[in-house]
């Protein structure tokens, strides 16, 4: 019985470690509310680490084109993400039009995009660390490196 | 065997807790470590006739780090090349050097039927005022600290402006309203302060 308990403890510990590792880059949150033609609610929250992990399984050939295009801008993107990580929370861009509202903010360790118009409301929150990891995965897919 | 399993279980639990704690720290630490004296460049464009507005807030430290990484077109390593053709052979460096060393004064005043242009140096700032009645009463006011102008010209090459140095100088300068443009429907403002929002 004690042996079973210890095995269970080991499994729980491993599970906690796994969850901790999986959540180490924060969570991606996507919320979409469609108001027309029908009302739909979509809410997804997933560990951000899944994105760079998923990049490993994406076809190399498809990624190489994107990697080549992004290559000249990698230093700029890296510098921007590094500075964004360190900066205070800030609304980076806000655009308001009649019936439309777009906002890009830095909140905590995440970049948050909120879009609202007559028909839809979209909220996407992505941890900066996950963006960095994904960009590095993409950069690594460049065949010339 | 039991001791080993027990030890293994404890190690797994401790590792789990440690990873969870590190993950939490990684998510919250950057915000806690952010410097309190961050300064921002704000741009606000409002069009009352269309009910549109665009607000952009850029941390100056970010701009300072990003600019040197952009090497495209006339921009390289935080410097911008200015072609002589664009300047109509005006030695802008000599011109601004003369302005810098001169005492506070009004340097240029142009008054026409519909236009009024004034360029002056006042309280360590280069000030430009333009009023244009022909364009719906357009008003343009530009106030640039001379330190920023100096920084712009701090590069050794004649046909280059050091934008990175200017951003650094802007960071060190106090809160300042740099540019306002107003006409019948549009209102543009560019300013620097230490607030992360335009509220």
Which pLDDT tens digit goes with each residue over A33-45? 998 788 999 999 9
pLDDT of residue B8: 52
% pLDDT > 90, chain A: 43
Contact: A109, B31; criterion CB under 8 Å = yes
Chain B residues touching A133 at Cβ < 8 A: none
In angstroms, what separates the C-alpha of B120 from chain A's closest C-alpha? 33
Task: Return the closest-CA partner of residue B115 out of B127, B129, B133.
Answer: B133
Residue ranges of B 178-197 with Cβ closer than 8 A to chain A = 196-197
pLDDT band at B11 (very low <50, low <70, confident <90, very high): low
**Residue B34 confidence class, pLDDT cut points 50, 70, 90:** very low
The CA distance from B128 to B111, in Å, is 14
Mutate to test the interface with A, among B4, B7, B26 (most CBs of A within 10 A): B26
Coil, helix or strand for B96? Answer: helix
Inform me whether the C-beta atom of residue A7 falls under 8 Å from chain B C-beta atoms. Answer: yes
Say which residues have a Cβ less than 8 Å from residue B140's Cβ, sequence separation at least 6.
B128, B129, B130, B131, B132, B179, B180, B181
Question: Would you state the pLDDT for residue A89?
Answer: 92
Indicate the pTM of the whole model: 0.76
Q: Is the pLDDT of residue B172 over 90?
A: no
Whether B32 shows a pLDDT value over 50: the answer reads no
Q: Contact A2/B1 with Cβ under 8 angstroms?
A: no
Q: Where are the domains of chain B?
A: 1-34, 36-193
- Per-residue pLDDT at A79: 94
pLDDT score for B18: 53
Distance CA B131, CA B146 (A): 23
Q: What's the rounded mean pLDDT across residues B106-110?
A: 87
**pLDDT tens for each residue of A7-16:** 888 888 888 8
Interface residue of A12, A13, A22 to substitute, partner B, most B CBs within 10 Å: A13
Domain boundaries, chain A: 26-140
ipTM confidence: 0.77
Assess B37–A contact: CB distance below 8 Å, yes or no: no
More confident call, B81 vs A91: A91
Lowest mean pLDDT among A14-18, A98-102, A110-114, B175-179: A14-18
Q: pLDDT digit string (tens) for A125-143?
A: 999 998 998 898 888 887 7
Give tens-digit pLDDT for B49-98. 889 999 999 999 999 999 999 988 888 889 988 765 556 667 777 777 78
Please check the confidence at residue B37 and state whether its pLDDT lies above 80: no
pLDDT, mean of residues A85-100: 92
Q: Are A71 and A143 in contact (CB under 8 A)?
A: no
Query: Considering CB atoms only, which of A12, A15, A76 is closest to B69?
Result: A76
CB of B95 less than 8 A from some CB of A: no
* Angle value at C-alpha A4, between A3 and A9, nearest 5 degrees: 95
Q: Average of pLDDT values for B13-26? A: 52
Contacts of A94 in chain B (CB under 8 A): 53-56, 198
pLDDT digits (tens, 9 = 90+) for A58-86: 888 888 888 888 888 999 999 999 999 98
Contacts of A109 in chain B (CB under 8 A): 26-28, 30-31
């Amino acid at each position: 019985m004690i042996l079973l308990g210890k095995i269970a403890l080991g499994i729980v510990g491993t599970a906690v470690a796994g969850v901790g590792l999986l959540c180490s880059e924060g969570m991606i949150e996507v919320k979409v509310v469609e108001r027309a033609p029908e009302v739909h609610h979509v809410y997804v929250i997933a560990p951000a680490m899944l994105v760079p992990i998923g990049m490993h399984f994406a076809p190399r050939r498809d990624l190489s084109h994107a990697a080549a295009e992004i290559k000249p801008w990698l230093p700029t993107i890296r510098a921007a993400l590094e500075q964004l990580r360190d900066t205070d929370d800030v609304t980076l861009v806000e655009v308001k039009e009649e019936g439309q509202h777009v906002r890009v903010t830095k909140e905590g360790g995440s970049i948050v995009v909120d879009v609202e118009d007559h028909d839809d409301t979209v909220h996407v929150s992505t941890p900066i660390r996950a963006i960095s990891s994904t960009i590095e995965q993409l950069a690594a897919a460049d065949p010339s490196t | 065997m039991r001791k080993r399993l027990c030890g293994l279980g404890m190690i797994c639990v401790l590792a789990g807790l440690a990873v969870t704690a590190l993950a939490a720290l990684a998510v919250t630490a950057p915000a806690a470590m952010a410097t309190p004296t961050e300064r921002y460049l704000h741009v606000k464009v409002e069009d009352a006739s269309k009910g549109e507005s665009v607000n952009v807030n850029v941390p100056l430290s970010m701009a300072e780090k990003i600019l040197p990484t952009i090497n495209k077109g006339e921009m390289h390593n935080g410097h911008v090349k200015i072609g002589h053709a664009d300047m109509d052979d005006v030695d802008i460096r000599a011109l601004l050097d003369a302005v810098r060393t001169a005492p506070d004064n009004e340097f240029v005043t142009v008054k026409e039927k519909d236009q009024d242009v004034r360029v002056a140096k006042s309280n360590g700032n280069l000030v430009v005022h333009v009023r244009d009645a022909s364009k719906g009463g357009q008003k343009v006011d530009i106030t640039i600290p001379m330190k920023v102008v100096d920084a712009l010209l701090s590069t050794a090459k004649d046909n280059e402006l050091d934008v990175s140095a200017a951003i650094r100088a802007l960071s060190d300068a106090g809160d300042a309203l740099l540019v306002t443009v107003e006409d019948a429907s549009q209102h543009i403002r560019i300013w620097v302060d230490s607030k992360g929002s335009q509220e």
